Every structure is written in structure tokens, then in C-alpha cells.
Amino acid sequence: MAAPNNRRKETIKPSNAKNEFGTQKLVIALSISSFAMLLVVVVLSWYVFDYSSKKDKINTNINSQNLAGESVVLPDDTQKQTTGDSIAAPENLNAEEVARMISKHMLLSEGNMTVASITNIEGLREDYPELFLYAKNGDKILFYQLGLIIYDPVLDKIVDVMRRLPEGTYIPSSPADES
């Protein structure tokens, strides 16, 4: 009689190596995508914070460092006060006179306004080159609720206007975009 084979039959189990490798790839992919999303959030947060701090800086730094000014409350009938009276020298204009002169060129909203004279244009151009590109020492800046207006009293011209629009306001880039 033949001797029985004492070898056990080994059952072949499917290898989990393939499943483990797939799981590792998934974990690595999720880790990389999570890191990428975190990086995007950090960069966008930095950009938004930097943008908002620069916007606030315009009102605080401009007023304190390179300007001398006073406040005025513009009455609602200023648009109608376009008299032909002689006006004082540009350096001696008060806030109400500057607001009245600007209102000859554009409609102004009612409310509190601050008028300041530019005394150091080079310092302002270093901080805000686009805004003060055409301004010069002696020009007046009218700060109001919707932004600021740079005015040249010698030429009797508005040099530049910067508007603050409400967050989320859509601005079309061309007439075709409006529809």
C-alpha cells in the first residue's frame, strides 16, 4: 500500500497586496488633494486680506501722512449753488468751496465729506502710483462715502475719481457684456 502523502494541501488565498496598494494610492491622492485645497484657501485668504487692508490703508495713510484737510457736510442744494462769484486762491479754499467747485463738474451725494490738500505727492505716488498718476502738490482730494475725487483748483478740473463699489457689484467690460 502506498504511504499517504503527509503534505497538506495549501489553499491559495487571493493576495491582499493588490488591495493594499490601491488603498495606499487612494490615501496618497487624498492627502495631496487635501494639501492642495488647503494651500488654495491660504493663498486666497492672504489675497483677500491684503486687498482689504490696502483699501482701508488708502483712507488712513493718505489722510495722515501727506495731506492737510478739513471736513464739510454737503447740503442737498449744493448742486444748485453754481455762482459766478470770485473764489479765493486755491491754497486758501475751504472744504465747502472745494465741494461747490467739484459739484459744478459732477453730481455729489449728500452727507459728510472731507477735503484735503496734497502736500507730498511723491510719497503718495510711491504708495498708490495708479491713483495719483496725474495729481500734483496743491490739488484737493474730496473723500466721500462712495470714494474720493482728486481735483485741481487751478485748472478747475477733476483729475481722477476712485469709486468704492458694493461687494459683488458686476461691472461689464464692454457694452456687449451688459445683456
Give 85-106 pLDDT, tens digit per residue.
334 456 678 888 888 899 899 9
Place 111 in a pLDDT band, splitting at 50, 70 and 90: confident
Instruction: Spell out the residues 6+ positions from residue 157 whose beta carbon is closer than 8 angstroms to its own.
Output: 105, 151
Q: Distance between CA atoms of 38 and 129, rounded to whole angstroms?
A: 33
The rounded distance, in Å, linking the Cα atoms of 117 and 119 is 6
Helix and strand numbers, DSSP H then E, in the chain:
3, 5
Q: How far apart are CA 106 and CA 109, in angstroms?
A: 10
- Which residues fall within 8 angstroms of residue 137, CB to CB, at 6 or more apart? 118, 119, 120, 121
- pLDDT band at 167; cut points 50, 70, 90: confident
| pTM value > 0.75 | no
- Of the chain, the percentage scoring pLDDT greater than 90 comes to 20
Grid cell 453754481 in the structure block, residue: 82
Q: Which tops the pLDDT comparison, 26 or 74? A: 26
* CA distance linking residue 125 with residue 57, whole number of Å: 14
Judge whether residue 149 has pLDDT over 90. Answer: yes
In sequence order, what are the residues at sequence separation of 6 or more whose Cβ sits closer than 8 angstroms to the Cβ of residue 165? 171
